[in-house]
């Protein structure tokens, strides 16, 4: 994402190539990276400042780099009739045949345990209730970028679940919230509260100690 943001703001060919290479590597690791790639393309279509790049070589350099990284895997996948993709599609079928709306809402609900701790950890910095930070013209583009990259993949998965009647498992959202903390810190005016710092530090220390003491016990079971 850093390379993509730099590509959009600096238009350097090396940043576009780095963006494409990272997308290719991400797809090699997990096909769900494609959701983020679609979000990136959608951002470049929806935001005027980003849309202008389609008239330049940058996006096509990124596409060429991504395809270059993916080429050996695509060759294998075509020969094997995309086994990983067929397996992933099979896992999205609901054996209970619930409504697509119910499945989408269940997926959204299951993301709360991933999102709420991030907001809670940042409370000593942001305070509560939150207050939006005033942004200048240059920062508004970065805010739009973070909103799109932070929330866009989740919204896109929910839309796909509703449109295609997919059952999305909760773990599919594990990679969706990478930029949530950065988004909150960028958009919310900081209001440090020392008392909450102490409480949070104590809670982290206690939680870390509990988790550390539990690990050796599990290892012996």
Angle at which helices 2-10 and 137-164 cross, to 10°: 130
At residue 139, the pLDDT reads: 86
At residue 195, the pLDDT reads: 59
Q: 43-82 pLDDT, tens per residue?
A: 999 999 999 999 999 999 999 999 999 999 999 989 988 8
Confidence category of residue 98, pLDDT binned at 50, 70, 90 = confident
Which residues, including other chains, have CB under 8 Å from residue 177's CB and lie 6 or more apart? Answer: 111, 114, 115, 118, 150, 154
In whole angstroms, give the CA distance from residue 171 to residue 184.
Answer: 22
Does this model's pTM top 0.75? My answer is yes
In whole angstroms, give the CA distance from residue 221 to residue 213.
Answer: 14
Cβ proximity of 157 and 176 under 8 Å: yes
Task: Tell me what the mean pLDDT of segment 168-188 comes to.
Answer: 81
């Amino acid at each position: 994402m850093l390379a993509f943001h730099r590509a959009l703001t600096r238009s350097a060919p090396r940043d576009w190539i780095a963006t494409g290479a990272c997308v290719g590597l991400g797809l090699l690791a997990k096909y769900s990276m494609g959701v983020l790639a679609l979000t990136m393309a959608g951002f470049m279509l929806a935001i005027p400042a980003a849309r202008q790049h389609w008239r330049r070589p940058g996006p096509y350099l990124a596409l060429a780099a991504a395809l270059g990284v993916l080429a050996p895997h695509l060759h294998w996948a075509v020969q094997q009739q995309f086994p990983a993709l067929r397996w992933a599609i099979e896992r999205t079928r609901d054996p209970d045949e619930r409504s697509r709306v119910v499945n989408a809402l269940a997926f959204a609900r299951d993301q709360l345990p991933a999102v709420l701790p991030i907001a809670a950890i940042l409370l000593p910095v942001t305070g509560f209730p939150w207050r939006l930070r005033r942004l200048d013209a240059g920062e508004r583009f970065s805010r739009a970028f973070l909103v799109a990259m932070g929330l866009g993949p989740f919204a896109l998965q929910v839309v796909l679940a509703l449109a295609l009647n997919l059952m999305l498992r909760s773990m599919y959202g594990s990679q969706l919230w990478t930029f949530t903390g950065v988004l909150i810190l960028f958009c919310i005016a900081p209001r440090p509260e020392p008392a909450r710092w102490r409480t949070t530090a104590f809670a982290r220390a206690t939680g870390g100690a509990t988790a550390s003491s539990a690990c050796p016990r599990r290892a012996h079971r």
